Amino acid sequence: MDFHAIKEGELLKQLKTEKQGLTDEEAAKRLKKYGLNELRKIRRLNAFKIFIRQFTSFLIIILIIAAVISFIAGERTDSFIIILIVFINSLFGFHQEYKAERAIENLKNMLVPKAKVIRKGKVQEINASELVPGDILILEEGDNITADCRILQSNSLQVNEASLTGESVPEGKSPSVLKLNTMLADRTNMLYQGTEIVKGNGSAVVVDTGMKTEFGKIAEMVQKIQSEGNPLKERIDSFARNLGIIILGLIAIVTILGISLGFETLIMFETAVSLAVSAIPEGLPAVITISLALATQRMLKVRSLVRKLPAAETLGRTTYILTDKTGTLTEEKMAVRKIFVDNKITDKFTKNKSTELLFKAGILSSNARIEYGKEDYVIGDPTEKALVLAAHEYGLNKKEETEKYPRIKEFPFSSERKMMSIVRSSKGNLISYVKGAPEIIVQRCNAELINGKVKKLTDKRKRELKIKYGDLASQGMRVLGFAYKTITRRSKEITEEIAERNLIFIGFQGMIDPPRKEVKQAIRDCNDAGIRVIMITGDSALTGKAVGEEIGLTGRVIEASQLKKMPDSELSNALKTVSIFARVSPQDKLRIVEVLRKNKEIVAVTGDGVNDAPALKRADIGIAVGRGTDVAKDSSDMILLDNNFASIVKAVREGRRIYDNIKKFIKYMLSANTNELLLIMFVILAFKNPMLLPLLPLQILWINLITDSFPAIAISREEAEEDVMKRSPAKESLIKGTISFTIAAGVFAFLICLLAFYYALGGDISNIARARTMAVTTSVLFQMFLVFNCRTKQPFYKFRLNRYVIYAIATSMALHMAVIYSRLNKFFEFTLLGINEWMIMTGLCVIAFGLLEIVKLEIK
C-alpha cells in the first residue's frame, strides 16, 4: 500500500490504531495474524544437492569415465590419480558454493533485537520480532529502524538510508503527505527497516513487518535468485564436450584399424585406453585451480579479496562493470568544492573578509567538530563535517572560534524550516549564524555582504542569487546558504523570529562527494580494455552527472522514473550509450543486470548495501565493497577491501592473465598429445605389422605424466602479456586461435618422432625397444621445447623468463633420464641411449622448435 500518500487520520484509521498505541491483547492478535517481524527462508539450503552438483561438469564426467577404463585395463595408479583430482576439485567447489548460499543468514542478523513502542499509552521496550502493523514507535538518535514506518512526529529527524537506497547524504524526515508516484528514495515521510537515525527524534506508526518490508522484499528476491553458471565453467564444459567427442572417435578408429590389421585385441584396447587418458586433459582442473589460487594471492595485494575462485578469471572477461558511486568512485566524504561570495562563483578560496566570514559562519552554525591529536578527525553530520574541514583548510580553527564566540542558544534544523541557527556571544553583542536551504536563506535576508560592505537586498537581487544557487546545484552539488545577524543585548528573550529574520546574506557553499583521484585513469583503462563502465546510484541525476563528468563517464543519464517506462528491448539498446542510472531501486539494478546477461554480456556489479544483494548475486561476478553490509559481501564473488574502483581494474588485469594462461596450457596440451595418436595411426597403416607398435600403453602414460604435469603448472605462473589491457574482453572459445598452431605442432612432432623411430629401428625388428625409446624420448624432449613456443605470442626470446618453466623442464628431464638409465627401464621396456642418439633427437627438436616459432608469428 502507498502509505506515504495517505493523510495521518486516514492512515491510523486503515491500520486500526491510535497515537496511544495498541493494547497488549490487540498486539497479540496481530502477531498471530502477521507473524513475527523477522525474515524467513523460502528456499532451504541442501548441502547434498550442492555436493552432487559438483560432478555435473562434462570434463569431470569424462575424467571419471577415463578413471574407470584405466582401472579395468589395469592402470590403477593413473585411475587413482584421476579420481583424486576429481574429488579435490569437487570438494573445493562444494565449499565455495555452500558458503555463498548463506547470504540470507546475515539479513536476519541485521535486525536490532529491541524496539521502544507505545502500548496502552505507556512506553515500553519489546523484542523487535514482536512488532506488528499499527504499533507506535518512539525514535531517538542512534536507533536502527526495525520495521517499515510512517512518520507521525519529527524533531530534526535525519536518517541514513545508504544501505537501502544508495543515497550518500542523510535524508531529512517529516510527517508531510507526499504524492502517490514519489520514488522510494524520495519518501521523506517514511522510515525503512535496516536504516539508522543519525540525528533528531520523533515517533512513527509501523505499517509493514517481516517479509512485507522493503528489506524483506529484497531478502525474498535474493533467495529466489538462482546463482548463475560461471562463464569459465561453461567454457571448460564446452571445450571438454567437443574434445571428448573427437578423442573417442579417433580412438575408436585406431582400435578398429589395429584389430582389422591383425594387432592383438588386448594390446589395441590398452593402447586405445592409454591414448584416451593421454589426450584427455586431466591436468586441466588442477592447472585452473592453481592458476586461480595464485591469482587470488596477487589480487589480495591489490586489495581485492576473491571469495569464489572462478571469479578471478571471470573478471578478466567482463564486458560491463556496473558500479555504485559513493565510496567506490568517490571518497565517501562530502567536501566543499565551490563557493559563491562577493557576487562570484569560485573554487579559489582567496583570503578576504567575505570569504573568511562565509567559512566562519559554516563552523559557527554547525555542531560538527575536529578532534585534534596524533591524527585529526572530524565528528558529526557529513554535511557539517565538510563545512568544518573547508574552514580548517582555509585556516580557521573550530575549537578556537567556538571559544572566542561562546554558544548562547540553538534553533535546530527541521525538515519543515529547512534551516538552523546558533546564536553566539561577541564583544558585548550577540550574533546569529544561520545556514540552510539557499532559497529559504535568501528569502530571510534584507541585506548582502559584498567586498566587506553591507548592501540592501532587493527582490531583483534575490532572484539573481537564486539563479546563482541554481548554477551550483546544476553541477550536482549540495548547496547551503549562509547569513548572519547582530542582535543587541536589549532583546530580553532570543526567539527563532529574532534570530532568523532580517539577515545579512554572506554566500553559498557548494559541496560534493569528490571522485577518487585514481578513478579517472581507471575508467580510461577500462575503455582501452573494451569494458563499458556504468554508474548506478541512488543519488540524483545531477549529482551522478557531475561526478561522471569528472571521471570520464560522459554518456546518457537516465533516472529510474524513465527506466521503469522502458521495455527491455529499448533498455537493451540504451545500455550501449547510457553511462549513469540515477535514483535506482534494487529491482531496477537487478533488471539492468538481467538485460545485459540476455545480451550475452559478462557483467560485474559493485555494491555495499542490502539493496545491492540481488544484483550482486545475479551478476557473473558480484563485487562487494569492504565497508559494505554482510548481506552484500555474502552475495558477492569478490570483496573490494579498499572500496576503490581502481582496484577492480588491477583485478581485471589479473583475470585476463589467468585466461591467457589457461589458453596457453590447452594449446600446449593439444599440441603435445596429437603427436602420439598420429604416430600410432601412421605406423599401423604403413607397416601393418603387429610387432611394430611404436608406443606401448605404459610408455604413452609415462609421456603424459612427465610432460602434462610440471610444465603445465609452470605455464600457470606466466606473466601477463604486454597487450593484456589493450584488447577487448575474450568472448571466443578456449581453442580459438590455437587450431593452426596445434595442427602444425602435432605434425612436426609426429614427423620428428617417426624419423627417430625409423632411424633407431634401422630396418631390423630386433631394434624395436631402442626405436620406441627414441620415439618416447624425442616426444618428451620436443614437449620441453614446446613449452617455450606456447609461453607467449611474441618471439620466445622477447618474453620475460619464467624460472618455474626452467625448474619444470629440469625436473621432467631428470625423471625421464632416471628411468632410462636405471633398472626402471625394464619396467617401461626402455633401452640405454648414447650420445649420438641424443644429438640426433636434440637436433630434430631444435628444427621443429624453430619451424613452430615461424608458424606462431605468421598466425599471430
In a domain, 215, yes or no: yes
Q: Which three cell numbers stand for residue 8?
A: 495521518
The predicted structure's pLDDT at residue 104: 35
530 & 638 share domain: yes
> Are residues 749 and 733 part of one domain?
yes
Quick one: 706 and 783 in the same domain? yes
DSSP label of 48: H
Strands 190-191 and 304-306, bridge-based pairing:
unpaired
Residue type present at position 64: I
Q: How far apart are CA 103 and CA 106, in angstroms?
A: 6
Among 508, 532, 561, identify where a domain stops.
Answer: 508
pLDDT, position 207: 94
- Per-residue pLDDT tens over the stretch 829-847: 899 999 999 999 999 999 9
Q: Of the given ranges (32-41, 51-60, 167-176, 358-367), which has the lowest mean pLDDT?
A: 51-60
Cα distances (angstroms) measured from residue 225 to each of 73, 290, 525:
45, 30, 32
Instruction: Supply the CATH number for residue 572's domain.
Output: 3.40.50.1000
Contact 551, 518 (CB under 8 A): no
User: Measuring CA to CA, which residue among 527, 438, 412 is closest to residue 158?
Assistant: 412
Residue 63 located in a structural domain: yes
| 473 falls within a domain | yes
**CATH assignment at residue 175:** 2.70.150.10
Lowest mean pLDDT among 99-103, 191-195, 535-539, 555-559: 99-103
Percent of the chain with pLDDT over 70: 83
Selection from 146-150, 219-223, 232-236 with the highest mean pLDDT: 146-150
Angle at 183 between CA 438 and CA 165, to 5 degrees: 85
Total domains in the fold of the chain = 5
pLDDT reading at 204 higher than 90: yes
If pLDDT is split at 50, 70 and 90, which confidence band does 181 have?
A: confident
Residue 339 lies in a domain: no
Residue 100 has pLDDT above 50, yes or no: no
Q: What value does the mean pLDDT take over residues 257-282?
A: 70
Instruction: State the pLDDT at residue 627.
Output: 64
CB 833 within 8 A of CB 773: yes
Q: Is residue 340 part of a domain?
A: no
Examine the domain organization and report whether 810 and 695 are in the same domain: yes
Residue 105 in any domain: the answer is: no
At 304, list the grid cell: 581485492
Between 634 and 783, residue with greater pLDDT:
783
Residue of 574, 512, 575, 521 lying closest to 547 (CA atoms): 512
Q: How far apart are CA 190 and CA 172, in angstroms?
A: 10
In degrees and rounded to multiples of 5, residue 695 shows phi and psi of: -135, 130
Grid coordinates in use for 629? Answer: 553490509
Mean residue pLDDT across the chain: 83
Residue 530 has pLDDT above 90, yes or no: yes
- Are 434 and 420 in contact by the 8 Å Cβ rule? The answer is yes
Q: How confident is the model at residue 193 (pLDDT cuts 50, 70, 90)?
A: confident
Is there a catalytic annotation at residue 324? yes
Nearest to 141 by CA among 170, 163, 119: 170
Residues 582 and 532 in one domain: yes
CATH code at 662? 1.20.1110.10
pLDDT band at 455 (very low <50, low <70, confident <90, very high): very high
Instruction: Note whether 668 and 791 are within 8 A (CB).
Output: no
Where is average pLDDT lowest: 418-427, 514-523, 605-614?
605-614
Q: Kindly list the distances between the CA atom of residue 139 and the CA atoms of 157, 164, 513, 631, in Å, as whole numbers in the listed order.
A: 9, 19, 29, 25
837 assigned to some structural domain: yes
Q: How far is CA 315 from CA 299, 531, 566, 607, in A?
A: 11, 11, 29, 15
Whether residues 639 and 716 share a domain: the answer is no
- CA end-to-end span of the chain: 62
3-class state of residue 826 by DSSP: helix
96 falls in which pLDDT band (50, 70, 90)?
very low
Residue 641, phi then psi, degrees to nearest 5: -65, -30
In the chain, how many H helices and how many E strands? 33, 26
Pairing type for strands 136-139 and 114-119 reads: antiparallel
Here the cell at position 663 is: 589458453
User: CA torsion sign, 590 to 594 to 595 to 600?
Assistant: positive
Q: How far apart (Å, rounded) are the C-alpha atoms in residues 580 and 539?
A: 11
In a shared domain, residues 366 and 502: yes
Residue tagged active-site, from 78, 324, 637, 660: 324
In a domain, 734, yes or no: yes
What domain range is 665 assigned to? 231-300+651-858
Helical packing angle, 768-790 and 835-858, nearest 10° = 40
Same domain for 353 and 502, yes or no, is: yes
Q: Which residues contact 857 (CB under 8 A, 6 or more apart)?
A: 795
Residues 370 and 481 in one domain: yes
160, three cell numbers:
541514513
Q: What is the mean pLDDT of residues 325-330?
A: 84
Please tell me whether residues 631 and 659 are part of one structural domain: no
| 689/3: higher pLDDT | 3
799 membership: H or E segment, kind and range: none
H-helix or E-strand containing 50? helix 47-53
Of 732, 712, 730, which Cα lies nearest the Cα of 669?
A: 712
Asked whether the beta carbons of 599 and 532 are under 8 A apart, the reply is no
With both helix axes pointing from N to C terminus, report the angle between 265-279 and 645-687 in degrees, rounded to the nearest 10: 160
Domain boundary at 179, 209, 224, which?
224
Tell me how many degrees the CA angle 767-702-667 measures, rounded to the nearest 5: 115
CATH of residue 442's domain is: 3.40.1110.10
Q: Based on the domain organization, do 688 and 791 belong to the same domain?
A: yes
CB atoms within 10 A of CB 658: 27
Is the same domain home to 799 and 850? yes
In this structure, the strands spanning 532-537 and 122-127 are: unpaired
Task: Say which residue, 164 or 402, is predicted with more confidence.
Answer: 402
Structure letter (DSSP) for residue 620 = S
pTM: 0.70
508, 533, 567 — which closes off a domain?
508
